[in-house]
Amino acid sequence: MSGYSLSELKSGGLMKQKEKDLFSLRLRIVGGFVDASQLIKLSEIANKYGKGHIHLTTRQGVEIPNINLKDVEKVKKEIGKAGLQMGACGQRVRTVTACQGKECSHGLIDCFLLAKDIDKEYFGIGGHPHKFKIGITGCPNGCIKPQENDLGIMGRLRKKFIKEKCNYCGLCASVCPVNAIKVNKGSNDIVFYEDKCIGCGDCVHSCPTNAWQKRQEGYSIFVGGKMGKFPKLGIKVFDFIETRGKVLDIIKKSLGFYKEFGKIGERFRDTLDRVGIDKYKKAVI
Protein backbone atom coordinates (compact mmCIF):
# COMPACT_ATOMS: atom_id res chain seq x y z
CA MET A 1 0.00 0.00 0.00
CA SER A 2 3.03 2.31 -0.44
CA GLY A 3 2.89 3.69 3.09
CA TYR A 4 -0.75 4.95 3.03
CA SER A 5 -3.21 4.21 5.77
CA LEU A 6 -6.87 3.90 4.82
CA SER A 7 -7.98 6.76 7.08
CA GLU A 8 -5.24 8.97 5.64
CA LEU A 9 -6.49 8.22 2.15
CA LYS A 10 -10.08 8.88 3.15
CA SER A 11 -9.30 12.28 4.66
CA GLY A 12 -8.12 13.49 1.30
CA GLY A 13 -11.14 12.43 -0.70
CA LEU A 14 -10.08 8.94 -1.79
CA MET A 15 -12.67 6.23 -1.36
CA LYS A 16 -11.69 2.62 -1.59
CA GLN A 17 -13.60 0.58 -4.14
CA LYS A 18 -14.43 -3.11 -3.90
CA GLU A 19 -11.74 -3.84 -6.48
CA LYS A 20 -8.20 -4.26 -5.16
CA ASP A 21 -6.10 -1.07 -5.26
CA LEU A 22 -8.80 0.96 -6.99
CA PHE A 23 -10.06 4.21 -5.54
CA SER A 24 -12.71 6.72 -6.43
CA LEU A 25 -11.27 10.19 -6.22
CA ARG A 26 -13.54 12.89 -4.81
CA LEU A 27 -12.92 16.54 -5.61
CA ARG A 28 -13.50 19.74 -3.70
CA ILE A 29 -16.31 21.53 -5.53
CA VAL A 30 -17.97 24.68 -4.19
CA GLY A 31 -21.67 25.12 -4.81
CA GLY A 32 -21.62 22.95 -7.93
CA PHE A 33 -19.51 25.53 -9.74
CA VAL A 34 -16.82 24.19 -12.07
CA ASP A 35 -14.98 26.07 -14.80
CA ALA A 36 -15.64 24.58 -18.22
CA SER A 37 -11.88 24.30 -18.77
CA GLN A 38 -11.55 22.30 -15.54
CA LEU A 39 -14.19 19.88 -16.77
CA ILE A 40 -12.05 19.26 -19.86
CA LYS A 41 -9.06 18.53 -17.62
CA LEU A 42 -11.15 16.14 -15.50
CA SER A 43 -12.26 14.38 -18.64
CA GLU A 44 -8.61 13.92 -19.65
CA ILE A 45 -7.74 12.52 -16.20
CA ALA A 46 -10.69 10.10 -16.27
CA ASN A 47 -9.62 8.86 -19.69
CA LYS A 48 -5.93 8.59 -18.81
CA TYR A 49 -6.08 7.13 -15.30
CA GLY A 50 -9.67 5.93 -14.78
CA LYS A 51 -12.03 4.06 -17.05
CA GLY A 52 -13.27 7.05 -19.00
CA HIS A 53 -16.23 8.08 -16.89
CA ILE A 54 -17.01 10.49 -14.06
CA HIS A 55 -19.57 10.19 -11.26
CA LEU A 56 -21.63 13.26 -10.30
CA THR A 57 -22.72 13.00 -6.66
CA THR A 58 -25.99 14.02 -5.01
CA ARG A 59 -24.11 16.89 -3.35
CA GLN A 60 -22.93 18.49 -6.59
CA GLY A 61 -19.57 16.78 -6.23
CA VAL A 62 -17.37 15.20 -8.86
CA GLU A 63 -15.76 11.81 -8.38
CA ILE A 64 -13.38 10.03 -10.73
CA PRO A 65 -13.66 6.29 -10.15
CA ASN A 66 -11.19 3.50 -10.92
CA ILE A 67 -7.95 5.29 -10.07
CA ASN A 68 -5.17 2.83 -9.23
CA LEU A 69 -3.31 3.49 -5.99
CA LYS A 70 0.00 3.68 -7.86
CA ASP A 71 -1.32 6.63 -9.89
CA VAL A 72 -2.83 8.61 -7.00
CA GLU A 73 0.08 11.02 -6.54
CA LYS A 74 0.28 11.71 -10.28
CA VAL A 75 -3.48 12.32 -10.46
CA LYS A 76 -3.34 14.64 -7.45
CA LYS A 77 -0.65 16.70 -9.21
CA GLU A 78 -2.71 16.92 -12.40
CA ILE A 79 -5.76 17.98 -10.44
CA GLY A 80 -3.67 20.65 -8.72
CA LYS A 81 -2.47 21.94 -12.07
CA ALA A 82 -6.12 22.37 -13.11
CA GLY A 83 -6.68 24.55 -10.03
CA LEU A 84 -8.73 21.88 -8.26
CA GLN A 85 -8.26 20.12 -4.95
CA MET A 86 -9.17 16.82 -3.36
CA GLY A 87 -12.50 16.58 -1.54
CA ALA A 88 -13.43 15.53 1.97
CA CYS A 89 -14.73 12.31 3.48
CA GLY A 90 -15.10 11.12 7.07
CA GLN A 91 -15.86 13.29 10.09
CA ARG A 92 -15.35 16.59 8.35
CA VAL A 93 -17.15 19.61 6.99
CA ARG A 94 -18.21 18.45 3.53
CA THR A 95 -18.78 20.08 0.18
CA VAL A 96 -20.92 23.18 0.55
CA THR A 97 -23.85 22.87 -1.85
CA ALA A 98 -25.56 25.88 -3.42
CA CYS A 99 -28.14 26.67 -6.07
CA GLN A 100 -27.51 29.27 -8.79
CA GLY A 101 -28.71 32.01 -6.44
CA LYS A 102 -29.11 35.30 -8.19
CA GLU A 103 -28.53 33.74 -11.63
CA CYS A 104 -31.98 32.17 -11.18
CA SER A 105 -35.02 34.42 -11.58
CA HIS A 106 -36.28 33.31 -8.15
CA GLY A 107 -32.98 33.60 -6.25
CA LEU A 108 -32.88 36.21 -3.48
CA ILE A 109 -29.27 35.91 -2.27
CA ASP A 110 -25.84 35.36 -3.81
CA CYS A 111 -25.48 31.69 -2.86
CA PHE A 112 -22.14 31.15 -4.56
CA LEU A 113 -20.46 34.04 -2.76
CA LEU A 114 -21.67 32.67 0.59
CA ALA A 115 -20.67 29.11 -0.38
CA LYS A 116 -17.14 30.31 -1.21
CA ASP A 117 -16.88 32.11 2.14
CA ILE A 118 -18.02 29.04 4.05
CA ASP A 119 -15.82 26.69 2.03
CA LYS A 120 -12.77 28.89 2.55
CA GLU A 121 -13.28 28.98 6.30
CA TYR A 122 -14.55 25.49 7.12
CA PHE A 123 -14.15 22.99 4.27
CA GLY A 124 -12.56 19.71 5.36
CA ILE A 125 -12.16 20.76 8.98
CA GLY A 126 -12.26 17.64 11.11
CA GLY A 127 -12.43 16.74 14.77
CA HIS A 128 -16.23 16.71 14.90
CA PRO A 129 -18.27 13.74 16.15
CA HIS A 130 -19.37 12.96 12.58
CA LYS A 131 -19.66 14.54 9.12
CA PHE A 132 -21.15 18.04 8.80
CA LYS A 133 -23.04 19.14 5.69
CA ILE A 134 -23.97 22.68 4.75
CA GLY A 135 -26.34 23.66 1.92
CA ILE A 136 -27.45 27.07 0.65
CA THR A 137 -30.64 27.68 -1.29
CA GLY A 138 -31.53 31.03 -2.83
CA CYS A 139 -35.23 31.24 -1.95
CA PRO A 140 -38.11 29.41 -0.27
CA ASN A 141 -38.48 27.14 -3.31
CA GLY A 142 -35.63 25.31 -1.59
CA CYS A 143 -34.17 23.53 -4.63
CA ILE A 144 -30.96 22.71 -2.77
CA LYS A 145 -33.01 21.10 0.03
CA PRO A 146 -31.55 23.00 3.01
CA GLN A 147 -33.64 20.89 5.38
CA GLU A 148 -31.54 17.83 4.46
CA ASN A 149 -28.34 19.42 5.76
CA ASP A 150 -26.77 19.54 9.22
CA LEU A 151 -26.99 23.28 8.64
CA GLY A 152 -29.13 24.70 5.86
CA ILE A 153 -29.37 28.31 4.73
CA MET A 154 -32.29 29.80 2.77
CA GLY A 155 -32.50 33.20 1.08
CA ARG A 156 -35.41 35.36 2.22
CA LEU A 157 -36.76 38.80 1.42
CA ARG A 158 -38.49 41.51 3.39
CA LYS A 159 -40.51 43.95 1.36
CA LYS A 160 -42.14 47.36 1.49
CA PHE A 161 -45.32 48.71 -0.09
CA ILE A 162 -45.38 52.04 -1.91
CA LYS A 163 -49.07 52.93 -1.88
CA GLU A 164 -48.85 55.72 -4.50
CA LYS A 165 -47.47 53.29 -7.11
CA CYS A 166 -50.18 50.64 -6.69
CA ASN A 167 -52.94 50.33 -9.30
CA TYR A 168 -54.73 47.55 -7.37
CA CYS A 169 -54.51 45.08 -10.26
CA GLY A 170 -54.47 42.18 -7.80
CA LEU A 171 -51.57 40.31 -9.40
CA CYS A 172 -49.63 40.15 -6.10
CA ALA A 173 -52.56 38.43 -4.40
CA SER A 174 -52.82 35.96 -7.30
CA VAL A 175 -49.15 34.95 -7.21
CA CYS A 176 -48.74 34.82 -3.41
CA PRO A 177 -48.38 31.13 -2.43
CA VAL A 178 -49.72 31.67 1.11
CA ASN A 179 -52.53 34.21 0.58
CA ALA A 180 -50.71 36.85 2.59
CA ILE A 181 -52.12 39.68 0.46
CA LYS A 182 -55.74 40.68 -0.07
CA VAL A 183 -56.59 43.30 -2.70
CA ASN A 184 -59.93 45.03 -2.84
CA LYS A 185 -60.18 46.53 -6.31
CA GLY A 186 -63.44 48.37 -5.61
CA SER A 187 -62.21 50.38 -2.65
CA ASN A 188 -58.51 50.49 -3.69
CA ASP A 189 -57.41 48.77 -0.53
CA ILE A 190 -54.60 46.29 0.22
CA VAL A 191 -54.20 44.19 3.36
CA PHE A 192 -50.87 42.47 4.01
CA TYR A 193 -50.76 39.65 6.59
CA GLU A 194 -47.08 39.83 7.53
CA ASP A 195 -47.28 36.78 9.81
CA LYS A 196 -48.28 34.60 6.84
CA CYS A 197 -45.56 35.90 4.48
CA ILE A 198 -42.74 33.42 3.73
CA GLY A 199 -40.49 36.03 2.10
CA CYS A 200 -40.28 34.41 -1.34
CA GLY A 201 -40.49 37.72 -3.20
CA ASP A 202 -43.00 36.51 -5.81
CA CYS A 203 -45.12 39.66 -5.30
CA VAL A 204 -42.08 41.93 -5.66
CA HIS A 205 -40.91 40.21 -8.84
CA SER A 206 -44.38 40.22 -10.43
CA CYS A 207 -45.70 43.65 -9.44
CA PRO A 208 -46.24 45.57 -12.70
CA THR A 209 -45.90 49.01 -11.07
CA ASN A 210 -43.12 48.31 -8.53
CA ALA A 211 -45.49 49.10 -5.67
CA TRP A 212 -44.02 46.08 -3.85
CA GLN A 213 -40.28 46.55 -3.45
CA LYS A 214 -37.45 44.72 -1.75
CA ARG A 215 -36.63 46.22 1.62
CA GLN A 216 -33.98 43.79 2.76
CA GLU A 217 -32.57 40.36 1.94
CA GLY A 218 -31.70 37.85 4.64
CA TYR A 219 -31.26 34.23 5.60
CA SER A 220 -33.30 31.54 7.36
CA ILE A 221 -31.27 28.92 9.20
CA PHE A 222 -32.23 25.24 9.51
CA VAL A 223 -30.32 22.75 11.65
CA GLY A 224 -30.29 19.02 12.24
CA GLY A 225 -31.30 17.74 8.82
CA LYS A 226 -29.85 14.40 7.72
CA MET A 227 -30.58 11.54 5.38
CA GLY A 228 -28.93 8.12 5.58
CA LYS A 229 -30.43 5.25 7.55
CA PHE A 230 -32.44 7.47 9.89
CA PRO A 231 -33.56 10.54 7.97
CA LYS A 232 -34.85 13.69 9.68
CA LEU A 233 -35.69 17.09 8.28
CA GLY A 234 -33.90 20.13 9.61
CA ILE A 235 -35.68 22.47 12.02
CA LYS A 236 -35.89 26.17 11.29
CA VAL A 237 -34.13 27.84 14.23
CA PHE A 238 -33.72 31.39 12.92
CA ASP A 239 -36.27 32.98 10.62
CA PHE A 240 -34.39 36.02 9.39
CA ILE A 241 -30.68 36.59 9.89
CA GLU A 242 -29.77 39.94 8.37
CA THR A 243 -26.12 39.66 7.38
CA ARG A 244 -23.70 37.18 5.83
CA GLY A 245 -21.28 37.86 8.67
CA LYS A 246 -23.88 36.79 11.19
CA VAL A 247 -24.55 33.59 9.21
CA LEU A 248 -20.83 32.78 9.23
CA ASP A 249 -20.76 33.40 12.99
CA ILE A 250 -23.69 31.01 13.50
CA ILE A 251 -21.84 28.32 11.52
CA LYS A 252 -18.70 28.83 13.61
CA LYS A 253 -20.65 28.57 16.85
CA SER A 254 -22.69 25.60 15.61
CA LEU A 255 -19.52 23.65 14.84
CA GLY A 256 -18.17 24.64 18.26
CA PHE A 257 -21.37 23.45 19.93
CA TYR A 258 -21.23 20.14 18.02
CA LYS A 259 -17.60 19.61 19.04
CA GLU A 260 -18.33 20.42 22.67
CA PHE A 261 -21.53 18.46 23.19
CA GLY A 262 -21.61 15.79 20.46
CA LYS A 263 -20.67 12.20 21.17
CA ILE A 264 -18.34 10.39 18.78
CA GLY A 265 -20.28 8.99 15.84
CA GLU A 266 -23.38 11.09 16.55
CA ARG A 267 -24.87 13.30 13.84
CA PHE A 268 -25.61 16.93 14.71
CA ARG A 269 -29.37 16.25 14.90
CA ASP A 270 -28.89 13.55 17.50
CA THR A 271 -26.76 15.91 19.58
CA LEU A 272 -29.44 18.60 19.32
CA ASP A 273 -32.21 16.14 20.29
CA ARG A 274 -30.22 14.89 23.27
CA VAL A 275 -28.84 18.22 24.54
CA GLY A 276 -31.80 20.41 23.62
CA ILE A 277 -32.43 22.82 20.76
CA ASP A 278 -33.00 25.76 23.15
CA LYS A 279 -29.55 25.34 24.63
CA TYR A 280 -28.13 25.34 21.11
CA LYS A 281 -30.02 28.50 20.13
CA LYS A 282 -28.77 30.32 23.22
CA ALA A 283 -25.21 29.21 22.46
CA VAL A 284 -25.13 30.53 18.91
CA ILE A 285 -27.08 33.78 18.92
Partner 1 sequence: MNEIKPGSVLDLRGVVCPNNFVRAKLKLEEMRSGEILEIIIDDGEPIKNVPRSIKEEGHKIIKVEKIDGHFRLLIEKV
Residue 170: CB minimum distance to partner 1, A: 6
d(CA 56, CA 148): 18
Report the residue number, 98 or 171, with the smaller CB distance to partner 1. 171
Does 208 contact partner 1 by CB under 8 A?
A: yes
**Position among 110, 150, 202, 270 found at the interface with partner 1 (CB under 8 A):** 202
By C-beta, is 45 or 183 nearer to partner 1? 183
* Residue 105: CB minimum distance to partner 1, A: 7
* DSSP assignments along the chain, one per residue: -TT--HHHHHHTTEEE-SSTTEEEEEB--BTTB--HHHHHHHHHHHHHTSSS--EE-TTS-EEEEEEEGGGHHHHHHHHHHTT--B---SSSB---EE--GGGSTT--S-HHHHHHHHHHHHTT---SSS-B-EEEESSTT-TT-GGGSSEEEEEEEEEEE-GGG-----HHHHH-TT--EEEETTTTEEEE-TTT-----HHHHH-TTS-EEEEEEEEEEEE--B-TTS-B--EEEEEEE--HHHHHHHHHHHHHHHHHHPPTT--HHHHHHHH-HHHHHHHH-
Given 205, 236, 259, 281, the residue binding partner 1 (CB under 8 A): 205
Q: Give whichever of 90 and 170 is closer to partner 1, judged by the CB atom.
A: 170
Q: Phi and psi of 272, rounded to 5°?
A: -60, -45
91-150 residues near partner 1, rule: CB under 8 A: 105
Q: Which lies closer to partner 1 via its Cβ, residue 144 or residue 203?
A: 203
**Interface with partner 1 by CB under 8 A: which range of 32-40, 54-62, 205-213, 260-268?**
205-213
Q: Which stretch binds partner 1 (CB under 8 A): 1-9, 20-28, 43-51, 206-214?
A: 206-214
Least Å distance between CB 205 and partner 1? 4
Nearest approach, Cβ of residue 137 and partner 1 (Å): 18
Q: Report in angstroms how near the CB of residue 200 gets to partner 1 at its nearest.
A: 10
- Residue of 175, 198, 235, 277 that binds partner 1 (CB under 8 A): 175
Residue choice 206, 232, 248, 266 for contact with partner 1 (CB under 8 A): 206
What does the binding site for partner 1 look like in residue numbers (CB under 8 A)? 105, 169-171, 174-175, 202, 205-208
